[in-house]
Amino acid sequence: MAEANCRREIELEIPASEVQKAIERVAREFARVARVPGFRPGKAPIPLIRRRFADDIKGEVLQSLLPEQIDKAVKDQKLIPITQPQVDQVDYAEDRPLKFRASFEVLPEFELGHYKGLQIEVEKAEVTDADVDKTIENLRERAATFVAIEDRALESGDYAQLKLVGTPVGGGEPLKADNVLCHLGAEETLEAFTQNLTGAKPGEQRRFDVEYPADYPDRKLAAKKFVYSAEVVAIKQKKLPELNDELAKDVSDVKTLAELRDRIRQDLEKELEAHHNAAIRDAALAKLVATHDFPVPEALVENQMDVRLERAVRSLAAQGVDPRAVNVDWVAMRRRQHSRAVEDVKAELLLDRIASAENIETTDEDLDQEISKIAERSGESAPAIRASLTKQGALDRMRSKLRSEKTLEWLQKNAEVKTREPERS
């Protein structure tokens, strides 16, 4: 029966005879180097040394005896500490046994339950003609050109080529853009632009106010008000390329539209298969965690909470948002990650136990392949990547990560998977 948590406290005692020997040994070492007034170095009597340097000698004795005693007790009790033992309740005297308590967290003990042939249900993965059509439309959109329209005013649906100057109300740095396209009437266009520019002709200038909503994606503009001066340089309409073989040649290395459709279908099927496999692995891991009840070390949970918070920060930075500038209660966000972090730790412990049971290991070839992938993405050489990882002490973490991934793949291959029709919105 596993204990309610992974914290262990052991009370230890070192015989007085061993303590006395350690005191004498340390005192002799002090006597060889200590400088005592009235005595040449190394000539001060031991009793004087023990009195004069009592606190220093005590510290050295504890430092030499306690770790050894803790290691012995841990091995005798077959525990696996994952945190540095904390010592308290120290009862130290020269003529008595040395007593103390060591506290630390250990890996949990638990029985590995059913994990082979897990019954998993995921949504059916299928590429349809509509998916292919949508991708081709996206390609047409990217290949579109803009054609100037003469002799009429701006209408909804047009693209206004503008020269803009925006002055923030209340002061601040103005916004300037000499050549920007504004799609009137589009969902992504603020209504103020559509209302105030509709009916304008090339060469005409309009002045109007724009108030950005609080949830506007660009945090520099969110909840702010600007006065814009907009000069209409030109009126343009988007022209999509014809859906024919010429389009296929322009957007790919195939020669016909039929070949392009086949290529797109193959790519979508590969992508969908990857998502499908990931869904199976996620479902298998969720079922494992749900069917195994055991405590996890709080130290590992705390570390996983930090990892999750770092991911959130990196995600913001990748979007060009300074995490320090956003109004986020990072402490509260970290606290909310606790339950998910517990599940993450349980999942890793379960995968480690399954890998051991099924003799799943990371080979040198696995490691070399992963390093080669990193080198290819970064543009550095594989030896340089390996040297950097070795210097950072990250190779063992990479081995562990690859072992977990191989174990997840094993679970996926050995699962009994049923598919259900996707939910229609």
Give DSSP secondary structure letters for 139-159: HHHHT-EEEE--SS---TT-E
C-alpha span between 136 and 206 (Å, rounded): 38
Distances, alpha carbon 205 to alpha carbons 154, 233, 247, 339, in Å: 12, 9, 38, 57
Does 128 lie in the same domain as 116?
Answer: yes
Selection from 122-126, 187-191, 216-220, 316-320 with the highest mean pLDDT: 187-191
Which of 384, 68, 131 has the alpha carbon at shortest distance from 264? 131
- Looking at every residue in the chain, the average pLDDT score rounds to 89
% of the chain exceeding 90 in pLDDT? 61
The verdict on residue 281 lying in a domain is yes
- The 10s digit of each residue's pLDDT in 149-191 is 988 999 999 999 999 999 999 888 899 999 999 999 999 899 9
Amino acid occupying residue 242: E
C-alpha span between 103 and 85 (Å, rounded): 5
Identify whether the C-beta of residue 366 lies closer than 8 Å to the C-beta of residue 406: yes
Does 129 lie in the same domain as 183?
Answer: no
Domain hosting 163: range is 145-239
Res. 34: pLDDT tops 90: no
CATH of the domain at 194: 3.10.50.40
The verdict on residue 334 lying in a domain is no
Listed in sequence order, the residues at least 6 apart from 22 whose beta carbon sits closer than 8 Å to its beta carbon are 61, 64, 65
Res. 2: pLDDT tops 60: no
- The 10s digit of each residue's pLDDT in 187-227 is 989 999 999 999 999 999 999 999 999 888 887 888 899 99
Does 84 lie in the same domain as 16?
Answer: yes
Does 205 lie in the same domain as 84?
Answer: no
Does 123 lie in the same domain as 191?
Answer: no
* 5: confidence class by pLDDT, cuts 50, 70, 90: confident
Does 266 lie in the same domain as 201?
Answer: no
221-241 mean pLDDT: 92
The verdict on residue 226 lying in a domain is yes
Listed in sequence order, the residues at least 6 apart from 293 whose beta carbon sits closer than 8 Å to its beta carbon are none
Does 85 lie in the same domain as 136?
Answer: no
pTM higher than the cut 0.75: no
Does 375 lie in the same domain as 275?
Answer: yes
How many domains is the chain built from?
A: 3
Does 286 lie in the same domain as 138?
Answer: yes
% of the chain exceeding 70 in pLDDT? 98
- The 10s digit of each residue's pLDDT in 321-379 is 777 766 778 888 888 989 999 999 999 999 999 999 999 999 999 999 999 999 988 88
C-alpha span between 183 and 321 (Å, rounded): 25
The verdict on residue 316 lying in a domain is no
- Max Cα separation, the chain? 110
Does 224 lie in the same domain as 187?
Answer: yes
pLDDT value at position 1?
A: 33
Token match 């517990």: residue? 342
Does 368 lie in the same domain as 281?
Answer: yes
Does 15 lie in the same domain as 138?
Answer: no
